[in-house]
Each structure stands twice: as C-alpha cells, then as structure tokens.
C-alpha cells in the first residue's frame, strides 16, 4: 500500500499500543516535548514521519516507536493498519494497532517525549470522559472531540485515531 499525503508535509505513521497495566486494558500514549515543531505538548501516539528509507508505513511506526520510547519492534505485535487520519497541520497519519509484550522496558527520548502514560481503555469507552473543546486556528473556530484522563486532555488527531480504533475493536465486521 502506498502511503502519500497531499501538500508538502510527508505522510506519518503511529503505533496505537494496547497493554495490560495493573490488570486493566490500556493504551500507551506520549506527551510530545514542548520543543518540537509540530504538535508540541500534545498527547499523542508514538510515531512520526515516514522516511524514504522506511520499507513501509508500519516500519516507520515501529522505527519511530523505538526512537521515541526504546521499545524494540520485537516487543510489539501489530494487529492491523487503521484508516488514515488527516491532521490540522497537513499530515496524513497511518495508525497501526497492536499489543505490547508483557515485559517491555520503556526509555523515553527526552528531546521528543515529555511524559508517557497508559490510559485505561475505559476512558475512551465511557461517555463520562468525553469532552468537546473549542480550538481557534488561523482565525477559524472548530469544536473537536476530546477525552479527559486525570489532568490530561486528549484531542485532535489522537482523539480521532482512538475513536476509529475503539469503534473497530468494539464493532468488528
């Protein structure tokens, strides 16, 4: 499958990684470092731009996950490619859903990752956690879906990716 994005921004790929933490199904998320050019300080999935040296978008997602968190590709069981999501900054992002093996060492690369959290899946299924936020960008006001978890707000492309993932997991064809 060819992974191309419109415009000048290259395509990107992310890993939507499920795991079990304290007996509860969770999704691993990162807070992007404040110093990054795009989506700084936002809660996201590990991943990044697809480079010419990548064999595939999945390879890019695994490579970036390793670079950002030190998680080896052999510690990830990819289940499937999810539908791509467009970001407000022009990226087209291909998410890959999968599961982390039970014994994974996570070592965040501090230049890219400010924090790591395992968000319980119930947060994304429970309507109590859903929010609507207003974002103003380039003079345009938009209402976006979001999720609240503790003191974190997960919104934008990350919220759309998790919506798609949960919908597919909860309503398989």
CATH code of the domain in which 58 resides: 3.90.79.10
The domain tally of the chain equals 1
Q: Is residue 131 part of a domain?
A: no
Higher pLDDT, 111 or 158: 158
Q: Is residue 1 part of a domain?
A: no
- Which domain does 76 fall in, by range? 12-120+154-170
pLDDT at residue 6, as a whole number: 52
pLDDT at residue 1, as a whole number: 45
Q: Is residue 4 part of a domain?
A: no
Q: Is residue 65 part of a domain?
A: yes
SS3 133: strand
Please give the backbone phi and psi of residue 130, each rounded to the nearest 5 degrees, phi first.
-75, 140
Q: Is residue 56 part of a domain?
A: yes
The pTM of the full predicted model, rounded to 2 decimals, is 0.88
């Amino acid at each position: 499958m060819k992974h191309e994005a419109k415009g000048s921004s290259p395509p990107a790929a992310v890993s939507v990684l499920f795991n079990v933490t304290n007996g509860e199904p969770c999704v691993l998320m990162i807070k992007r470092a404040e110093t990054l050019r795009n989506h700084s300080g936002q809660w996201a999935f590990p991943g990044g731009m697809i480079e010419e040296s990548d064999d595939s978008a999945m390879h890019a997602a695994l490579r970036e996950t390793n670079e950002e968190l030190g998680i080896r590709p052999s510690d990830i069981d990819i289940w499937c490619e999810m539908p791509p999501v467009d970001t407000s900054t022009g990226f087209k992002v291909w998410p890959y859903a999968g599961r982390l093996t039970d014994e994974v060492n996570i070592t965040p690369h501090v230049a890219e990752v400010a924090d790591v959290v395992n968000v319980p899946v119930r947060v994304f299924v429970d309507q109590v956690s859903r929010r609507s936020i207003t974002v103003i960008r380039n003079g345009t006001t938009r209402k976006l879906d979001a999720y609240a978890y503790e003191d974190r707000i997960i919104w934008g492309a990350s919220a759309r990716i998790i919506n798609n993932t949960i919908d597919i997991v909860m309503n398989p064809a």
